[in-house]
Structure 1
Amino acid sequence: MKKIIIFSLFFLGQSIFAQKLALVKEKAKIGYIDTSGTYSIEPNFDTSKSFSDGLAAVKIGKFWGFIGKDGKMEIEPAFSNVKDFHDGICMVESDGGWYYINKKGEKLTMPSSDKLYDFNEGLALMKVAGKIGAFDTNGKVIIPAEYDVIKPFNNGFAKVSKKGQWGIIDTTGKVTVPLEYDNIGEYVNGITWAQKGDAYGIIDGDLFRELEGADDIWDFGSQSITYARKNGKVGFTDKTGNWIIEPKFDKARAFNQNLAPVSVGGKWGYIGLDGNYVIEPAYNDAEVFSDDRLAPVKGKSWGFIDPSGKLVIPMEYDITVSFGFNEKNKGFNDGVSRVKKSGKWSFIDTSGNILGNKWFYNAELFQN
């Protein structure tokens, strides 16, 4: 019996700390709800931030501390300013200076840097004599300070620049794409776009293929297809650097679920991989389908359609950009979308139900 109780408590704890919570403001106080719309942490705070890496910053009096997902104080309020936790480490300010702490609130010794940066994918950037490098959570320098620019890492890769030329490195500092381009996109599934002189093209691995006539290319999304512009019109290219859908649209957005929103003459619809309309242009605006197989579309306000074009959630909301770097789509992620109506915020599920049937003065995105 004792073992059963111990295991039950263990899995209950794991469940609590794995769940995503959203910061909400009800009247003058801030609390946190789970994805059922139920308060996990009652609204008791005047000032606080969203959860990140399992902890949320809260301000008590003049000082900031951190709570866990059970609402208990994990790091006592002692800081005049704080950032968010990433990779178990957070930047905090005390006595006029910034430094790093761990989840025990202990000050960490890290390599000297002219400016402190948040950790991202296990690394923090460092600036030394105007050059940028990076070190890991143990304070070991992984990338020497030799670059002019290092952009944030995304899925293990980052754009870097030296003497005006751009390339891609991984989190070990290995150069994945040589620094020989005038501009470069995000590296997604081994593919990106780049500009070399007047030529725009696709890099698959380390091979650059010019896309005929292109004067702009956008980042790849979840599918190995992206959109590009030629002579003022937008079409689509695959990773071979060939036009697979000729440029004939005024505007476009990324493919997902084998559908892409496109605009001609101010009206938006959706095309399939053959470039033909699957959903006829009838909307004032339209966004990418999410992995929940719903896409936001706009008449006077926003609603949601399924891949057949059926309106499954009425057009009566405002929406905002959603969760994080890899989920830039507006609308649904993980079965939930943040919406606004009559000046208040809430969340809806994929059936259009309001979570907990509650509206808030403010509601931030669900975070771990």
Structure 2
Amino acid sequence: MKQLLSFFLLVLSLTTANAQSLTKYSSQGKIGFKNTSGEIVVPAQYDEVYEIGGDKYYCVELNHEKGVLDKKGKVILEPKYSFIWGFSEGLFSVEIYGEERKRGFADTTGKVVIPLIYQDAALFSEGICAVMKDNKKWGFIDKTGKEITEFKYDKLSSFSDGVAFGELAGKYGLIDKQGKEIVSLHPDGLEGFTKTFLDNVEKGKNTGHFIFDDYQSFSENLGAVKLKEKYGFIDKSGAIVIPIIYDRVESFYKGTAIVQLDKKMKIIDKTGKTIKDLKYSGFGFSREDVMNVKLDGKYGRIESATGKEIFPPVYSALQRFQKDMTAWAQLDGKWGMINKSGKVIVPFKYNEKDYLWDSDNLYKCRVDNKFCFFDEINKKELTEVKYDSIGKFKDGFVVVRKDNKFGYVDMLAKELVSPNYRYARAFSEGLGTALNDKNWLFVNKNGEEFPLIYNGVSNYNNVGSFHDGLCWVFFNDKAGYVNKKGKLVIALEYDAVWSFDGGIAKVQLDSKIGCIDLVGNEVIPIQYDKIDIDYNGIITAVLDGKEFYFNSKGQKTEKPKEDH
């Protein structure tokens, strides 16, 4: 009877889990979620979606603001933050931009539990977090926001094994969870260092100074430190327990550590005794119980604790582990993917692979002269290897080219418009600009086309993209601007024009340049030889070699002060 009950409970748990499983879907360049029955749970409204918090949550972006959903689609944090840096120990690190960026922490109920008052912040570890105040100095706080240390440090690490590293004046020392400096800064400064002092350090004497040049976080009660270009290990009292003699070291794992000395690698125990000599010339990324190693320009993998070879150095490149312990590798000039044990899970067939930023874990991968979209999470091609080129995502879509024709693809690799245009520009402000066999047109996020014809009769010679609601157009060597309905709102009277930015655009007439506003009024007269607009909206105009300065409204201003 108990076995039968257990069976039904298992079936129920699996059914419940499957019912709660969500899959992403796309519509109009946005992402939402459906359940396994295909029912919409979260409407397609987000511009970006990615996992945070060890795959427990989704960070979502809506209208340039970020929030958090759980894996059932429930809103945890409303999309109102400028950025969400991560999730640790039950708290989300959140940020809002105003006149200055400010960071704080919210819990899984959506409540802000540590106010957004800090200029920068790390993530929590062992109940403590490093944060930076307006004085540009770092200190530690606990989960109630209580300050554990003074805010005087140039840098602070996360806690590991009950201790953290702090930086003062370019040197590092230890701090405990009560905020006590285990290795403290010398009151006379670093100028007081002497050869005798350094000799005492190397002999393992704890002198009580912030003295180290670099560090690695503690593991198994030992931390790696660097001094005079060499590495060794200290304990939590700050005493050097393994001499600072190595060229490179890795943290301890299961009682051993891999070190390198004079281009030779070996495994040592916590006394510094050599356990095993290794044949490799160097080591790379490590995670969990495995490490990538190098020999004769090739990469392989070993067990970190024992040095046992998992697979020999055969790859010309072996990259950082993914969260599922898979990795990209290169063999005979081709890229593929392997798992933790070295089993090939994606064939070595790609000549090139590049992550597509602002997409949802998509890569573009090339085989010979053709590209496909590749899903790194599920390790599979989402399209055929058929495109001549794949551009960059913008406004939810990317321009693709096939057989010298252009089209649009969304963030889940779904074609909005198959490649059939003679040319296409990236989406901007909800519309793409394309050229078919006859004329220019706008394409919306449903794939619907809106022909763009001057006076309803003649084709434009060239059309740009939208900025501030307007798009430049050329007809018979004269330029103006149209709105999103295709109506000409600024007349075709200029020899050259630029896109609007912040409500202002450069225009050229008879070899002279000025600026106009969104209704075509001159805000800077068209009389200058050259005009530059910087990222702060400050405009520099040049006439006969003399510079004049304007703000974004076209008002004259003083020359901006240079940043030092």
The structure 1 residue matched to 2:225, chosen from 160, 164, 179, is 160
Partners of 2:340 and 2:94 lie apart in 1 by 45
Residue 277 of structure 1, CA deviation: 6.6
Determine if contact 1:92/1:101 at 8 Å carries over to the other structure: no
Q: CA deviation at 1:27?
A: 1.4
Q: Is 1:303 the counterpart of 2:372 in the alignment? A: no
What is the aligned counterpart of 2:62 among 12, 26, 31?
A: 26
Contact 1:192 / 1:220 at 8 angstroms: preserved in 2?
no
| Change over 3 Å in CA distance of 1:57–1:217 after alignment to 2 | closer
Q: Which residue of the partner structure matches residue 318 of structure 2?
A: 252
Q: In the aligned structure 2, how far is the partner of 1:149 from the partner of 1:269?
A: 35
Give the Å deviation of 1:173.
4.4
**Structure 2 residue aligned with 1:75:** 114
Q: Which amino acid aligns with 2:70?
A: D
Map of 1:336 onto structure 2: none
SS in 1 for 2:217: coil
The runs of 5 or more residues in structure 1 that have no matched partner are: 1-16, 287-295, 317-339, 347-368
Deviates more, 1:273-282 or 1:25-34: 273-282
CA gap 1:342/1:167 in 2 versus in 1, 3 angstroms? farther
TM value normalised by structure 2: 0.42
Q: Which amino acid aligns with 1:44?
A: K
Match in the other structure for 1:218? 284
- TM-superposed deviation, 1:22: 3.9
Q: Which residue, out of 140, 155, 163, partners 1:123?
A: 163
Superposition TM-score, scaled by structure 1 size? 0.60
Confirm or deny: 8 A CA contact 1:297 1:304 kept in the other structure: no
**1:32, CA displacement in angstroms?**
1.3
Q: Give yes or no for the alignment of 1:202 onto 2:267.
A: yes
CA separation in 2, counterparts of 1:25 and 1:303? 20
Q: Distance in 1 between matches of 2:308 and 2:375?
A: 35
Kindly state the Cα deviation for residue 260 of structure 1 after the two structures are TM-superposed.
7.4
Identity of aligned residues (%): 22
- Tell me the equivalent position of 1:12: none
Contact (CA 8 Å) 1:113, 1:126: kept in 2 or not? no
Alignment of 1:188-337 (within 5 A): 188-203=253-268, 206=272, 207=274, 209-212=276-279, 214-224=280-290, 226-238=291-303, 245-252=311-318, 262-269=329-336, 281-284=348-351, 300-303=372-375, 313-315=380-382
Work out the CA distance in 2 between the residues paired with 1:305 and 1:48.
21
Counterpart-to-counterpart distance in 1, 2:70 and 2:338: 36
Residues 26-75 of structure 1, C-alpha deviation per residue, up to 9 Å, x if partnerless? 11332211123432122234565444441433438557354332222323
Paired with 2:179 and 2:253, the residues of 1 have a C-alpha distance of 28
Describe the superposition over 1:252-297 as per-residue Cα deviations: whole angstroms up to 9, x where unpaired: 35899998765321224567999897875334579xxxxxxxxx99
Q: Please tell me the residue identity of whatever aligns with 1:40.
A: I
Question: How far apart are 1:189 and its partner, in Å?
Answer: 3.2
CA offsets 1:302-357 (integer angstroms, 9 cap, x no match): 23598xxxx6x4446xxxxxxxxxxxxxxxxxxxxxxx9846778xxxxxxxxxxx
Whether the 8 Å contact between 2:138 and 2:153 is mirrored in structure 1 is no
* Aligned 8 A contact 1:101 1:108 in 2: yes
Contact in 1 for aligned 2:118/2:131 (Cα 8 Å): no
Q: Does 1:56 align with 2:122?
A: no
- Deviation of 1:243 (Å): 5.9
Give secondary structure in 2 for the equivalent of 1:147.
coil
The correspondence for 1:36, drawn from 61, 72, 92, is 72
Is the contact between residue 165 and residue 183 of structure 1 (CA under 8 Å) also seen in structure 2?
Answer: yes
Per the TM alignment, residue 90 of structure 1 is displaced from its structure 2 partner at its CA by: 4.0
Count the aligned residue pairs.
292
| Structure 2 unaligned regions, length at least 5 | 1-52, 184-207, 354-362, 367-371, 384-394, 399-409, 413-564
Distance 2:241 2:282 in 1: 22
Rg (Cα) greater in structure: 2
The Cα of 1:159 is off from its aligned counterpart by: 2.2
Structure 1: distance between partners of 2:56 and 2:332: 41
Contact 1:254 1:260 in 2 (8 A): yes
Q: Which moved more, 1:132-141 or 1:203-212?
A: 203-212
User: In structure 2, how many angstroms separate the alpha carbons of the residues matched to 1:244 and 1:96?
Assistant: 46
Q: Distance in 2 between matches of 1:240 and 1:100?
A: 37
